[in-house]
């Protein structure tokens, strides 16, 4: 058996880092691949995402340290509840301020909605804590 001379660029790269490849006649009948079957398939299409524009008002703006941000989330079944769950998963002030039972209202494109309301790409999602005044 001799080292392979007529190699593809992928095999040439392999030889550069790992040394010569010894090929048996049976090997030439099989397709050579540098892909590790245990690795996830990066050629599969990524899950579609949408980007929302979030706005934080009053107490939430101070707690989060920002007035708003852009948030990419999975497009499949995107709801206000999933947006809130994504934000809660950040932990810290996010989990505390957006915990279930806390008084926070949500408006999508200036309309107050429930957690089951769906969201679409480009929607403005505003989080409003209760406001009191005198």
Q: Based on the fold, state whether residues 53 and 94 are members of the same structural domain.
A: yes
Q: How far apart are CA 27 and CA 12, in angstroms?
A: 16
Q: How far apart are CA 113 and CA 105, in angstroms?
A: 8
Domain that holds residue 59: 49-128
- pLDDT one-digit tens code per residue, 80-132: 999 999 999 999 999 999 998 899 999 999 999 999 999 999 999 999 998 75
- Look at residue 67 and tell me if it is in a domain: yes
Using CA atoms, how far residue 19 sits from 2, 13, 26, in Å, is 13, 10, 20
Q: How far apart are CA 98 and CA 100, in angstroms?
A: 6
Q: Based on the fold, state whether residues 123 and 100 are members of the same structural domain.
A: yes
Q: Based on the fold, state whether residues 60 and 30 are members of the same structural domain.
A: no
- The structural domain count of the chain equals 2
- pLDDT one-digit tens code per residue, 21-53: 555 555 454 555 555 555 555 555 567 999 999
pTM score above 0.85? no
User: What CATH number is given to the structural domain containing 66?
Assistant: 3.10.20.30
- Look at residue 41 and tell me if it is in a domain: no
Q: Based on the fold, state whether residues 53 and 9 are members of the same structural domain.
A: no
Which pLDDT value is given to residue 29?
A: 47
Q: Is the dihedral of CA 71, 74, 75, 81 positive or negative?
A: negative
- pLDDT one-digit tens code per residue, 120-132: 999 999 999 987 5
Q: What is the largest CA-CA distance in the chain?
A: 91
């Amino acid at each position: 058996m001799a080292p392979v001379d007529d190699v593809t660029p992928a095999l040439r790269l392999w030889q550069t880092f790992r040394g010569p490849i010894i090929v048996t006649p049976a090997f030439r009948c099989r397709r050579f691949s540098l892909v590790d079957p245990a690795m996830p398939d990066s050629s599969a299409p990524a899950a579609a995402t949408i980007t929302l524009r979030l706005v934080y008002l009053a107490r939430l703006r101070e707690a989060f340290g920002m007035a708003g941000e852009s948030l990419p989330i999975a497009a499949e079944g995107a709801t206000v509840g999933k947006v809130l769950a994504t934000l809660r998963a950040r932990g810290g002030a996010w989990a505390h301020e957006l915990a279930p039972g806390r008084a926070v209202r949500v408006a999508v494109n200036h309309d107050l909605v429930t957690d089951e309301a769906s969201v679409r790409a480009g929607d403005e999602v505003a989080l409003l804590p209760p406001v009191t005044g005198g």
